[in-house]
Structure 1
Amino acid sequence: MQIITSISQIIEARKQIAQNLKIGFVPTMGALHQGHISLVERSVKENDITIVSIFVNPRQFNDKTDLENYPRNIENDIVLLEKAKCDIIFTPNNDDLYANYQGYKTDLKGIDKIYEGEFRPGHFQGVVDVVYRLFDLVKPHKAYFGEKDFQQLAIIKLMTKNAKLPIEIIGCDIVREKSGLAMSSRNERLSEEERKNASEIYKTMLKHTANLKAGQKTDEIAKKIKEEIDNIPFLKTEYIVFCEPETLKPINKFSANTDIRLCLAVWCKKIRLIDNISLHI
């Protein structure tokens, strides 16, 4: 396994890879967990070469404290990636990565301004900036993203389409802890009691969507989920939305034979958690 830290090195390494070899890419911010590793393992299975980037991107943090507190454990990340048979780790620094690069602007059709975008202004532009830059350097054939960040996945698909990049964007299933809590690097900052309570988020979503019927109003179900979550100690719902999976447009009423995503964000004391589930009516 090769560890690369500079732009010049990744450009040279990319040139050395034979043209007939397929490259899979997994961009991360480190603090890796089994969710990340599942993406790497899928890439290893589907490609000849797997490249993983580790870069805590300042541009996608609208909260300076959140950036400062974001967990970092590069030594452990390297161990996990070696075990997963990653070929190249790319760990650039901020100045090098963004030198002579102003960012990438594209029409995201407003989906960067809703849900996560409403509460984290500028976040998705930061995501687009870094992912476009990494795609340009790595030039992968396939790139893998977890569905936990469902809105981010939709935005990256749209950005890739707009830019006409020859990259297949692959969304991978959410990996959960035994309790049902969606795996996240931020879970490391939860106390044992907070983690236990946070695991109720997923259970509450499942409970209130088990018997949905066509014609039901989505806001009635959302209200029940919010009330139950907000009654759990430490938890406070920021938003809940039922939306169309491709366009992310909010759905007001359930219709028969329809695929829907239920997405939410919940604060557990000072830690912000997101989750979503796929539904079919």
Structure 2
Amino acid sequence: MQILTTAAGLQAYTEQARQAGHRVGLVPTMGALHAGHLQLVQAARADCNEVIASIFVNPTQFNNAEDFRLYPRVPEADAALLAPAGCTALFAPSVAEMYPQPTVLHFDFGALERVMEGAHRPGHFNGVATVVSKLFHMARPHRAYFGQKDWQQVAVVKQLVADLSFDLEIVACPTIREADGLAMSSRNRRLDAPARAAAPLLYQVLQAAAAQVRQGVPPAQVQATAEATLTREPLFTSEYMAVADAQTLQPLTNYAPGRAVVLCLAAHLGGVRLIDNMVVAG
């Protein structure tokens, strides 16, 4: 596995791969890798000759400076995991390499970003779109792989690709969970023992909400029940619970036949912000 730290090095690597007729897959990450990330690498390896994983804790997508400071960083451990999973190149740039000058460009994804994460983390998706655009230009992948745990992010990136005519395919892979249902996340490393013991409640709340959706319980009632359940656990502070159209991400007041519903939630647990979601088929 090659380790690349500059945009020029990455561009040279992918240009050589393309000239050789190889398909290039990109797995953008912020490091602190877990089995969910490795699933993305393995999926890319099944489709592509070259698999590039990027590790970059992107400052422009954090609206909380403390969250950025505390984000787990374990570069040596990450590198050791990538090669066995099928990664052929690791791109690990510095902030100065990715942002040689301050960015002034602003993305607006309309209604898609004015709910859930976009509403609660101002500027977050502008930062995501900026860094993803840079990675797409540098790596020129045929396919890029993202996890469905970040459902709204996947939707925003797909819109970015469509609007800017990037010549690549976005592949969304299912959320990987721990044995007790907790969605794998780099932030899980920051949970202390009591918080980790309480964390599976997120998945349990989603399961109960999905059952209510299938029974036709009105969305407002599903949301209220979920938030009340989280509130009863003293370690949790609920941020939002959304019952939304799985494509538009707009909140629902009723269910349309044949339209999938996505249940999205965010909560703080022991000082750590966690998100999760579940899709209920229409």
Q: Same fold (TM over 0.5)?
A: yes
Match of 1:88 in 2: 89
Residue 65, structure 1, aligned to residue 63, structure 2:
no
* TM-superposition CA deviations, 1:77-115 (whole Å, max 9, x none): 011001112000000111111225736544412322221
- Are 1:61 and 1:123, in contact at CA under 8 Å, matched by a contact in 2? yes
Normalised by the size of structure 2, how large is the TM-score? Answer: 0.95
Aligned residues between the structures: 281
How far does residue 15 in structure 1 lie from its aligned partner after superposition? 2.1
Q: 2: CA distance between counterparts of 1:255 and 1:181?
A: 29
Q: 2: CA distance between counterparts of 1:245 and 1:255?
A: 11
Q: 1: CA distance between counterparts of 2:207 and 2:215?
A: 17
Q: In the superposition, relative to structure 1, how do residues 178 and 136 fare at CA in structure 2: closer, same or farther (>3 Å)?
A: same
- Are 1:113 and 1:121, in contact at CA under 8 Å, matched by a contact in 2? no
Residue 52, structure 1, aligned to residue 47, structure 2:
no
More helix per residue: 2
Q: 1: CA distance between counterparts of 2:225 and 2:93?
A: 45
Counterparts of residues 1-281 of structure 1 (less than 5 Å): 1-19=1-19, 20-99=21-100, 102=103, 104-213=105-214, 216-281=217-282
* TM-superposition CA deviations, 1:17-57 (whole Å, max 9, x none): 14321101000000000010000000001111100000000
Q: In the superposition, relative to structure 1, how do residues 12 and 220 fare at CA in structure 2: closer, same or farther (>3 Å)?
A: same
Q: 1: CA distance between counterparts of 2:115 and 2:191?
A: 27
Amino acid at match of 1:191: D
How far does residue 4 in structure 1 lie from its aligned partner after superposition? 0.4
- Are 2:236 and 2:267, in contact at CA under 8 Å, matched by a contact in 1? yes
Q: 2: CA distance between counterparts of 1:106 and 1:232?
A: 37
Amino acid at match of 1:14: T
Q: 2: CA distance between counterparts of 1:83 and 1:213?
A: 41
* TM-superposition CA deviations, 1:222-253 (whole Å, max 9, x none): 11111111101301111011111121111111
Q: 1: CA distance between counterparts of 2:123 and 2:106?
A: 12
Q: 2: CA distance between counterparts of 1:177 and 1:66?
A: 23
SS in structure 2 of the partner of residue 210 of structure 1:
helix
Q: 2: CA distance between counterparts of 1:233 and 1:272?
A: 15
Amino acid at match of 1:15: E
Q: 2: CA distance between counterparts of 1:258 and 1:265?
A: 23
Unpaired runs of 5+ in structure 1? none
Q: 1: CA distance between counterparts of 2:184 and 2:269?
A: 14
Q: 1: CA distance between counterparts of 2:180 and 2:216?
A: 32
Normalised by the size of structure 1, how large is the TM-score? Answer: 0.96
- Are 1:213 and 1:254, in contact at CA under 8 Å, matched by a contact in 2? no
Q: 1: CA distance between counterparts of 2:168 and 2:191?
A: 36
SS in structure 2 of the partner of residue 51 of structure 1:
strand
Give percent identity, aligned residues only: 37
Q: 2: CA distance between counterparts of 1:104 and 1:24?
A: 26
Amino acid at match of 2:94: N
How far does residue 133 in structure 1 lie from its aligned partner after superposition? 0.3
SS in structure 2 of the partner of residue 243 of structure 1:
strand
How far does residue 16 in structure 1 lie from its aligned partner after superposition? 1.6
How far does residue 280 in structure 1 lie from its aligned partner after superposition? 2.1
Q: 2: CA distance between counterparts of 1:10 and 1:27?
A: 13
